[in-house]
Amino acid sequence: MPDVEGSGIAGPEHGPGDVRGVRSTTRSQRRRASTSPRPGASQPYSSIPSSHPTSIVVGVGAIVTWEGRILLVQRGHPPMEGAWSIPGGRVEIDETLPQAVHREILEECALDVTVGDVAIILDRITRAADGSVVSHYLIIDFWATAAHDQVRARSDARDIGWFTLDQIRQLPTTTNLVQYLEEALRRRATGLPGCLVVSDWGG
């Protein structure tokens, strides 16, 4: 549901299996402020060439909870600009998955979180009309608990807020965000072991 090319727990926007839309840059990209349209801003996955991918892109996201509400960010760039999703981004070299989650939430939401267990794993492969692979994203979304509820939209987020599941159902969200959140929350409430695993081999 974090934002790969575009899930909160959100490829171009996760497509039929979209949870979020993972965005972010590497440390080296952030150091190249002179070549960035917005110094210090994160680069959306959609701007990363993927016509001939040579490796899987790994991203993370977080279902951040606070007193029965879930943290969502409103996407400020295509694809699905204006849609709401859970925050997240790309895993960088030399950091663990929990470290990547913590960094991304701090950068995007100005929020310190405690990272918990894995909530959702999304394996998304996008193919061209001839069957060739256009992109391959592996997104791991974690449960996370906020230290407080004071947040601020940073990076490429247009807006940010805390919402109940009922309120989220009324929002324009990235594809399948509500369904994934509902299932992840149901599994957590009933104590089902493991996490929700979703494979999307969209064209």
Q: Give pLDDT, residue 3.
A: 56
Rounded CA gap, 24 and 41, in Å? Answer: 8
DSSP H helical ranges for the chain: 27-31, 97-109, 165-168, 177-190
Q: Give pLDDT, residue 25.
A: 41
- On the question of pLDDT at 112 being above 70, the answer is yes
- On the question of pLDDT at 193 being above 80, the answer is yes
pLDDT tens per residue across span 48-94 = 444 567 889 999 999 999 999 999 999 988 878 999 999 999 999 99
pLDDT tens per residue across span 7-53 = 443 433 433 333 344 444 444 444 444 344 444 444 444 444 445 67
- The encoded tokens of residue 58 equal 């790994």
Rounded CA gap, 124 and 71, in Å? Answer: 23
* This model's pTM is above 0.85: no
DSSP string, 76-140: -SSSSTT-EE--EEEPPTT--HHHHHHHHHHHHHS--EEEEEEEEEEEEEEE-TTS-EEEEEEEE
Rounded CA gap, 91 and 56, in Å? Answer: 11
Q: Which domains does the chain have, with CATH numbers?
A: 15-200 (3.90.79.10)
Query: Checking DSSP bridges between strand 157-163 and strand 88-90, what pairing results, if any?
Result: unpaired
Using alpha carbons, select from 202, 203, 198 the residue that is nearest to residue 61: 198
Using alpha carbons, select from 120, 118, 109 the residue that is nearest to residue 179: 120
Rounded CA gap, 30 and 24, in Å? Answer: 9
Which residues, in sequence order, are CB contacts of 49 under 8 Å at separation 6+? none
